[in-house]
Amino acid sequence: MFTKTSPSTGPGSPEVTGFYDEASGSIMYVLADPATKEAALIDIVLDFDPAHGRTRTDSAQEVLDFVRDQGLSVTWVLDTHPHADHMMASAWLKEQTGAPNAIGEKVRDIAVLWREIYNLPDAFDADKNFDRLFAEGETFKVGEIDVRVMLSPGHTLGSITYVAGDAAFVHDTFMHVDSGTSRADFPGGSSAELYDSLMAILDLPEETRLFVGHDYPPVGERTDPAWEATVAEHKAHNKHLGGGTSKEAFRKIRDERDATLDLPDRMLHALQVNLRGGRLPEPESDGRAYFKIPANRF
């Protein structure tokens, strides 16, 4: 797995290691406090083979092996939103580490949308499936590092950003500077809200390191995945926003691009798992779990 570490820049600044999941184009993160060796795991993938309906924990285990080798102690299992392109390993990681799992509080509203789509009116109890549901502006610590939660809707209506010292985990808002921004056409998404979220992130200090949720190389002459750039670099060079782009112009770019995109091949499997905190549906009378896929809905 392609891995890269961004070093701490001093007290209060985390060391950040990214792990690239090629199958989904996702980046998984370990946020570590060098002073205390405490760490948070962010957006870790539960491997899924759509052709066989099979899950595995290989990628999550690789992250845990890194944590062990570095002598880190996991204190949080975090997700930024209920992902459409991969299943989250949140529940499994909670079992392995004993650390609480968390996501944004508006996952409750996302659950309402998807209960209707799946015709599962009693499913997806966020308060049961997550230990903590963060609100806009809430804070917590990873070791001695203060982490602040920003509500960043647009890709979903409940996406959140974790701002930890001079690092921000901005999920499906920005992509790398040479790729632009993320789509906003899923249920509850909005290019107008995404623009506002992007602008709020760009209001962070210019030296803030932004860590994005996805990359899909090759991009231009670049063949390796990339996921880190500063606020200043995005302001100057982001493909969709660099140099200053109006909300109207951005929405035209984003909406026209989104109209050409297929659904992720894992989406209809993944949402019913992620809204359960990374758990498969309850086993039926034969002891097996089954996915429910709406026909002709999208």
Q: What is the mean pLDDT of residues 21-40?
A: 97
Q: What is the mean pLDDT of residues 204-218?
A: 97
Q: And the tokens for 8?
A: 């701490």
pTM, two decimals, is: 0.97
**pLDDT digits over 3-27, tens only?**
999 999 999 999 999 999 999 999 9
Q: Where are the domains of the chain?
A: 3-270
> Angle at Cα 11 formed by Cα 5 and Cα 17, nearest 5°?
15
Report residue 114's pLDDT band, with 50, 70 and 90 as the boundaries.
very high
Give the pLDDT confidence score for residue 80 in this predicted structure.
98
Cα(294)–Cα(253) distance, integer angstroms = 30
Cα(32)–Cα(210) distance, integer angstroms = 16
**pLDDT digits over 163-206, tens only?**
999 999 999 999 999 999 999 999 999 999 999 999 999 999 99
Cα(83)–Cα(33) distance, integer angstroms = 26
Cα(226)–Cα(219) distance, integer angstroms = 10
Cβ atoms of 145 and 75 within 8 Å: the answer is no
3 state DSSP class of 49: strand
Q: How many CB atoms lie within 10 A of CB 65?
A: 10
Give the pLDDT confidence score for residue 102 in this predicted structure.
98
11 exposure class (CB count in 10 Å sphere: 0-12, 13-18, 19+): exposed
Residue 256, C-beta contacts closer than 8 angstroms, at least 6 positions apart: none
Q: And the tokens for 131?
A: 């230990």
Residue range 3-270, CATH number? 3.60.15.10
Cα(112)–Cα(119) distance, integer angstroms = 10
Give the pLDDT confidence score for residue 100 in this predicted structure.
98
> Angle at Cα 116 formed by Cα 85 and Cα 114, nearest 5°?
25
Q: And the tokens for 53?
A: 């309906």
Q: And the tokens for 256?
A: 């026209």
**pLDDT digits over 117-170, tens only?**
999 999 999 999 999 999 999 999 999 999 999 999 999 999 999 999 999 999
Strand order in the sheet with 26-32: 3-6, 15-21, 26-32, 38-42, 73-78, 101-104, 132-134
- Cis peptide leading into residue 121 (ω within 30°): no
Q: And the tokens for 218?
A: 């090759």
Cα(71)–Cα(263) distance, integer angstroms = 39
Amino acid at 263: L
**pLDDT digits over 262-282, tens only?**
999 999 999 999 999 999 999
**pLDDT digits over 218-276, tens only?**
999 899 999 999 999 999 999 999 889 999 999 999 999 999 999 999 999 999 999 99
**pLDDT digits over 41-76, tens only?**
999 999 999 999 999 999 999 999 999 999 999 999
- Cis peptide leading into residue 218 (ω within 30°): yes
**Is beta strand 38-42 parallel, antiparallel or unpaired with respect to 15-21?**
unpaired
Minimal CA–CA distance to 251: which of 178, 199, 177? 199
Phi, psi of 140 (to 5 degrees): -155, 180
Phi, psi of 41 (to 5 degrees): -105, 130
Give the pLDDT confidence score for residue 51 in this predicted structure.
92
Cα(208)–Cα(241) distance, integer angstroms = 17
**H runs (alpha helix) in 138-207:** 191-202
